[in-house]
Amino acid sequence: MKHLHLLHSDIARPERFTYPFCYEPHPLCQLAAKEVQQYIAAQEEIREDADRGKMFGVLVVEGGFLAAYSGLLAGRNDWDYFVPPVYDAQQPDGYFKTKEREISQLSKATGRRAELSTKQMSQDLQLWLFHQYKLLNARGETKDLVDIWQEYYSRPKLRRKFPLPPGGTGDCCAPKLLQYAFLQGLKPICMAEFWWGKPTKEELRQHLNYYPACRGKCKPILTWMMQGLDVDPDPETLGFQRMELPILYEDEAIAVVDKPSGMLSVPGRVEEYSVETVMRQRYPDCVIAHRLDMGTSGLLIVAKTLEAYHPLQEQFVKHQIRKKYIAVLEASPQQGRLEGAGTISLPLRPDPMNRPRQVVDMEHGKRAVTDYEFLTSHLVALYPQTGRTHQLRIHCAHPDGLGCPIKGDELYGTKADRLYLHAAEIWFRHPITEREMHLISPPPFGATP
């Protein structure tokens, strides 16, 4: 079996298969990934293409491991070292490429009728292609991609929002790996995916870091394919550690808390425990006036009443509330950002295929502006003018920002013991007394990295 590679190790197997959307790579996967990385480094054509940024995956099975890449590699999908695609649409004389050339020729014609005709033909060809992706699960059952997708999004509202898969669905690492394993009768043991190459403006990922499977394209597919496997539970459903929530300021209208890293600001999709739930045990009508990412620590304003909440919201809307964050960067930033101060303006929007990640989009993104000031080569003060999701994290990590992720940022950088981002100071007008307020919380990770 040419795509199966030996893996010599006495490392104990995991009890259950990997939950691919939130995991720590098993040592067996790390060992297999090193083998793949050595292979990539030794193959010039593969390495040159991968250096531009590519996701690779490994699946440890009984008897060895399998390797895969996302999409095409150097314009090909027939590398002997890696498992084949679920469906090969790249055959020059195959139906897909033949019809693609026909549509391309027709598109050169002018007129509204030709435009409508080529658009319909392209949609029909894409639907035909989706039906060719006949995916197995661990029980030996088969469904095509369209049926899997529409069964996953079976509720009418979701069906209208996600009627068909986006292009490229089924070509990520994980579906390729599981499909080949099931076709060959191999038993999956654990799986992991890593990024090779430089971060791109679209993919703020770090070389050799491990990442979860994408939720947008892969979750419907893998939910089907993993049926019949004993899979690890979703860690997000296991509950979060209960933490102390210090209150730095309090009066009859508001409280300002010092949120610890690892605590939600408001209840999440599956987790109720949060700053809001803790504070509502004391003040049933309270409302969180703004939010911090779960990994971010620091100052958070809680309005005890709606009378206090609405004036605070007005200040946020008018950008009258100022905030200062302290961040430790993974390393010294790119040349030209090593010291001093400046402003980053990179518009952001959600990545619908890979939530909760955000992406820079100069055309469709919402305005996001951050002032920065270097305190040392690794320590930076950040002053957001806007409040977009993951704004500070992306403005630090993006090549057109500081070009260096915040330490511990597992989405856009490298995971550590925590996200080294702290909301250290906040200036606002008291919603009832209108007194000018300025509160300070020193970073728990100290003044130096």
Q: What's the confidence (pLDDT) of residue 17?
A: 98
pLDDT band, residue 442 (cuts 50/70/90): very high
The C-alpha angle with vertex 287 and arms to 283 and 293, in degrees rounded to 5, equals 120
pTM for the model: 0.88
Q: In what order do the strands lie in the sheet with 210-211?
A: 64-69, 54-61, 188-196, 210-211
What 3-state DSSP class applies to 72? coil
Structure tokens belonging to residue 388 = 């977009």
Of residues 49, 258, 293, 409, which has the active-site annotation? 293
Q: Catalytic: 171?
A: no
- Mean pLDDT along residues 135-147: 97
Task: State yes or no: pLDDT of 208 exceeds 80.
Answer: yes
Cβ–Cβ < 8 Å for 374, 449: no
What was the pLDDT predicted at 107? 75
What's the confidence (pLDDT) of residue 57?
98
Residue 335: per-residue pLDDT: 47
Report the interhelical angle of 95-107 vs 112-132 (nearest 10°).
170
Query: Residue 11 corresponds to which tokens in the numbers above?
Result: 């490392």
Mean pLDDT of 202-212: 91
Q: How many helices (H) and strands (E) does the chain have?
A: 11, 18
Read off the pLDDT of each residue in 59-66 and give the average, rounded to a whole number: 97
Which among 101-115, 192-206, 216-230 has the top mean pLDDT?
Answer: 216-230
Cα-to-chain-centroid distance, residue 188: 24
At what angle are helices 112-132 and 145-152 packed, to 10 degrees? 90
Per-residue tokens: 24: 């720590």
* Angle, alpha carbons 173-80-180 (nearest 5°): 45
Integer CA distances (angstroms), 35 to 10, 29, 40, 53, in order: 16, 10, 9, 18
Q: Comparing C-alpha atoms, which of 59, 49, 53 is closest to residue 20?
A: 59
Helices (H), 133-204: 145-152, 156-161, 173-183
Short-list 254, 209, 197, CA closest to 411:
209
Average pLDDT (249-266) is 96
- Mean pLDDT, residues 210-238 taken together: 91
Calculate the CA dihedral of residues 243, 397, 299, 438 and round it to 10 degrees: 160
Question: Rounded mean pLDDT of the chain?
Answer: 92
Least confident of 39-53, 159-173, 244-258, 378-392: 159-173
Residue 194 has pLDDT above 50, yes or no: yes
222-237 per-residue burial string, b: 16 or more CB within 10 A, e: under 16: bebbbeebebbeeeee
Measured over the CA atoms of residue 237, residue 243, residue 249 and residue 251, the dihedral's sign is positive
Per-residue pLDDT averaged across 261-283, rounded? Answer: 87
